[in-house]
Amino acid sequence: MAAEQPATVAKPLRILVITTGLRLGGAEQQIAALARAFVALGHSVAIVSLTEGQEIDLPAGIPVTELGMRKTPLSMLAALRKTRRVVRQWRPDVIHSHMVHGNLFARALTRTGRMPPVVCSAHSAREGGTLRTLAYRLTDRWCALTTHVSEAGRQAMVASGAAPARRVIVMPNGIDTSRFRPDDAVRERVRRDLGLGAQDVLVLNVGRLVAEKDQATLIEAFRLVARAVPDARLVIVGEGPMRSALAARIEQWGLASAVTLAGARSDVPDLLCAADIFALSSQIEGMPLAVGEALATGLPVVATAAAGVAELAGSAAVITPVGDAAALARALTAAIDQLPGTHVDRDQRRQQIVSRFDVSAIARQWLAQYQQLRGRQ
């Protein structure tokens, strides 16, 4: 069930975003991209983060309130009171929450007094286990609308009983195609900085180092790739609790010269320009922004069949079964064999994203949804 095409929104809106956090991650990057687009279109944005710390870049002048919430009832009550004060002082037209904790918090906020319409956005095909599903179901009536970034994710929410089908629509992630685009000069500079020669093939993965992203399978696949293509290099960008285990696996398999854990980086657009292929190994996704950003940069993509990948990439990516290292290795090796490709190939991959998922167009869809919900009150 996709969102209806919106009409043009004329009146500037005040949008309060509630998020679990502002660390580096796909959902957090989407919040930042939408904030930039809303501000560029003449609207105002304020952000409430349940946790402390900001790693994403936000437009100057956006007020950010960090609640520093802890897992105690008293901390929850204090956070609700503080957010209620923000609502009274800032007077938003709509509240838009993201991710499971942000969504449940925003719904609880509606119990503290009169609130503008609340929109809750889910970003993962697996929002949580039985307790979170029950919490979603019991609080569904406290929000005006629930959205998911992919149809596969929407269907998973409905199937789990987290929300009734009539109350969940698809609103896809938007890609900032002005930031993610091919640039030959950037490519040469970054490859030189990385110490890559003309013969080296750079495979890039971007994602948090967590079990759901399954970089362990990607490293296992790359062990096979490196045997067939000695000049292939894998760079994994991101941080997370799996770092030590992944580093041990790289060492165990003698891949230290071929695989690099690059940590969190703020120059992902430049790294994508430098790459030859993008690889996604996830078990679980919602709508993987990294795949869209890679395609917008014109890269060939090899990805596992996690939720949302096929909806986003269509025929522009090679998709392999989840958790199958051998299939992933075969697809990566075949993609390397087809390099360097043509500018026509590159432009077609980019057009797949520009035509359907440019963040400015997605932002306008959101603005129309907000206006429609305001009109119902």
Domain count, the chain: 2
pLDDT at 23: 87
For residue 340, cis peptide bond before it (omega within 30 degrees of 0): yes
205 shares a domain with 145: no
**How far apart, in whole angstroms, are the C-alpha atoms of residue 124 and residue 89?**
32
273 within a domain of the structure (yes/no): yes
pLDDT at 358: 96
Strands 277-280 and 201-206: parallel
8 within a domain of the structure (yes/no): no
- Find the farthest-apart pair of alpha carbons in the chain and give their distance in angstroms, rounded: 63
Within a 10 A sphere around the Cβ of 341, how many other Cβ atoms?
15
194 shares a domain with 114: no
pLDDT at 7: 44
334 within a domain of the structure (yes/no): yes
Domain residue limits at 202: 184-356
294 shares a domain with 218: yes
Select from 248, 271, 273, 268 the least CA-distant residue to 259. Answer: 248
**How far apart, in whole angstroms, are the C-alpha atoms of residue 368 and residue 51?**
29
6 within a domain of the structure (yes/no): no
3 within a domain of the structure (yes/no): no
- Tens digit of pLDDT per residue, the chain (377 long)? 555 444 444 689 999 999 999 988 889 999 999 999 999 999 999 999 999 999 888 999 999 999 999 989 999 999 999 999 999 999 999 999 999 999 999 999 999 999 999 999 999 877 778 999 999 999 999 999 999 999 989 999 999 999 999 999 999 999 999 999 999 999 999 999 999 999 999 999 999 999 999 999 999 999 999 999 999 999 999 999 999 999 999 999 999 999 999 999 989 999 999 999 999 999 989 889 999 999 999 999 999 999 889 989 989 999 999 999 999 999 999 999 999 999 999 999 999 999 999 999 999 999 999 999 987 76
**How far apart, in whole angstroms, are the C-alpha atoms of residue 318 and residue 234?**
18
136 shares a domain with 73: yes
**How far apart, in whole angstroms, are the C-alpha atoms of residue 186 and residue 178?**
14
336 shares a domain with 227: yes
pLDDT at 9: 47
pTM comes to: 0.87
- CATH number for the domain that contains residue 214: 3.40.50.2000
260 shares a domain with 202: yes
Tokens of 166: 């009539």
pLDDT at 97: 98
7 within a domain of the structure (yes/no): no
132 shares a domain with 251: no
pLDDT at 133: 93
DSSP string over 244-263: HHHHHHHHHTT-TTTEEEEE
**How far apart, in whole angstroms, are the C-alpha atoms of residue 377 and residue 374?**
6
241 shares a domain with 133: no
pLDDT at 155: 93
Q: Is 98 helix (H, G, I), strand (E, B) or coil?
A: strand
pLDDT at 63: 97
Amino acid at 345: D
pLDDT at 67: 97
pLDDT at 2: 52
100 shares a domain with 36: yes
167 shares a domain with 149: yes
284 within a domain of the structure (yes/no): yes
Q: Which residues pair with 19 in a beta bridge?
A: 49, 98
9 within a domain of the structure (yes/no): no
Distance between alpha carbon 300 and the CA centroid of its chain, in Å? 19
Select from 61, 63, 58, 54 the least CA-distant residue to 85. Answer: 63
Listed in order, strand segments (DSSP E) in the chain are: 14-19, 44-49, 64-66, 94-98, 118-122, 145-148, 168-170, 201-206, 232-237, 259-263, 277-280, 301-304, 317-320
Q: Is 25 helix (H, G, I), strand (E, B) or coil?
A: coil
Going by C-beta distance under 8 Å and a sequence separation of 6 or more, which residues neighbour residue 127?
Answer: 100, 133, 136, 157, 162
50 shares a domain with 140: yes
Amino acid at 339: L
pLDDT at 44: 97
219 shares a domain with 194: yes
pLDDT at 3: 54
Give the Cα-Cα-Cα angle 156, 285, 237 (nearest 5 degrees). Answer: 170
